[in-house]
Every structure is written in C-alpha cells, then in structure tokens.
Chains A and B, each alone.
Chain A
Amino acid sequence: MVENTKYLFVVDSSFVLAFLLDEGNTEVELIFEKHAKHEVKFISVSLLKYEVANSLRTKVLRKKISKSKALLLYKNFKELDIVEEVVDYFEVLKSAILNNLSFYDCSYLYLAKQQKAKLLTLDSALKKKI
C-alpha cells in the first residue's frame, strides 16, 4: 500500500550509518528524532540490516570502534523499527541496468519510486539519480 508520502522516507545504509557513526550530524539526527517520535516513517529494503552490520564489522576490524560498541549500536539500530519492505528484484535489476547503478543502490532507489517516497541518502552518485 502506498502511504502518505509527506511522512514516508526510504533510508539507505549511508544515511543510517551517518546517524550511527557521525557524531554531531544534527541534520541527520533531527530526522531520526522525528522517526523516533513517529512524526515520520522510515522504510527500507532487507539489504539495510546487512550493510549496516557489515560496516560496523569493518569499523571493528579497523579498530575504529570497540566490538561492544558496535554490538550495542546494532542492537539499538534494530530497535528503531525501520520497516523492511519487499521489492521486485527482477524490476530492480532492470532499473539497475538502465540507470547504471549497482543492484544494491538501485534497490533503495526502486523502493523510493515504488512507494513515492523521498530517498534519504548521503551517496552523491545515488542522489543524482533521484
């Protein structure tokens, strides 16, 4: 079901990771606060939980954050209740080829188009395709 697009946002991993890892990014924090207060709704694709976990793992391996902090960040990220939506992977592939995007990036973009929602991303290349 297509929801009220004014309040519905698709978030990609770059946006979520900016909230989890970038201290003092008030712009990103503000919109996450709205999500926490139910003033806006975040949705994403199943890929999000893998990408967020993988990036946290990389940060631990590079000794940028401790293992315990990474685990706690991930636990709290999961409890933010970002709703996971299913996309048509065949259509995502078609769109990825057409837009010269990776299948990963395109899945976020495709969901945003499907739900008529704004895509929140820090990825400049992906922003250009919106």
Chain B
Amino acid sequence: MLTKRTNILFDEQIFKYLVALADKGKTSVGELVRKAVIKVYIKPQINYRRMTSFKNILRLKKGLGHTTAKEIKQSINYGRKY
C-alpha cells in the first residue's frame, strides 16, 4: 500500500522524458520511479540474498553425507505425527 509521500527534483529534460514515457505506457511518473527503485535497489538485494543462502546451504550440509528419499519421507511423516 502506498502510504509514504516524497518530493523529487528532476532536470526539466529528464522530467519531460519521464512524462512522455508515462503517457506512452499509460502510467504515471510516480509508477515509473517506483519500478526503477525496485529494479535498482530492491531486486539486486533479493538476488544477492537468495544466492548467498543457496551457497550457505551447500556449505552447511558438507559432511552430512547421503540422505535417501525414504529417510526424508520418514522424517516428514514422523513430524506429522507429533
């Protein structure tokens, strides 16, 4: 939900370009800015977090050895009982 407001100053040229772009895409300048913020600042952070977690898991399970599908299913079913 959009609840926080801010004012942004742009060069006139950039602002004109953004208005034209928003008109073309039948959207608003605000929406363009929000999308750009997510693309530049939020998504890379999520990507980095996911990849770090993936690598951490590979590192953490080193030495655990092979666990069969049957053993995994047994531990799931055990958890469902208690």
Given known contacts A23-B61, A73-B57, is B50 in contact with A81 (CB within 8 Å)? yes
In angstroms, how far is the closest chain B Cβ from the Cβ of A42? 10
Q: How many residues does chain A have at the interface if contact means C-beta atoms less than 8 Å apart?
A: 40
Query: Inside 8 A of B60's CB, which chain A residues have their CB?
Result: 69, 72-73, 76
Binds A, one of B4-12, B30-38, B73-81: B73-81
Report the nearest A residue to B57, measured CB to CB. A76
In angstroms, how far is the closest chain A Cβ from the Cβ of B80? 6
Q: How many residues does chain B have at the interface if contact means C-beta atoms less than 8 Å apart?
A: 28
Report the nearest A residue to B68, measured CB to CB. A22
Q: Is the interface of B mostly helix, strand, loop or mixed?
A: helix
B69 contacts A122, C-beta separation under 8 Å: yes
Binds B, one of A52-60, A87-95, A110-118: A52-60
Mark out the residues of chain A between 68 and 123 whose CB falls within 8 Å of any chain B CB in the assembled complex.
69, 72-73, 76-77, 79-81, 102, 104, 122-123
- A21 CA / B60 CA spacing, docked (Å): 9
Q: Which residues of B are at the interface with A, using a C-beta cutoff of 8 A?
A: 46-47, 49-54, 56-58, 60-69, 72-73, 75-76, 78-80
The 5 closest A-B pairs by CB, nearest first: A54-B79, A36-B54, A122-B69, A79-B53, A76-B53
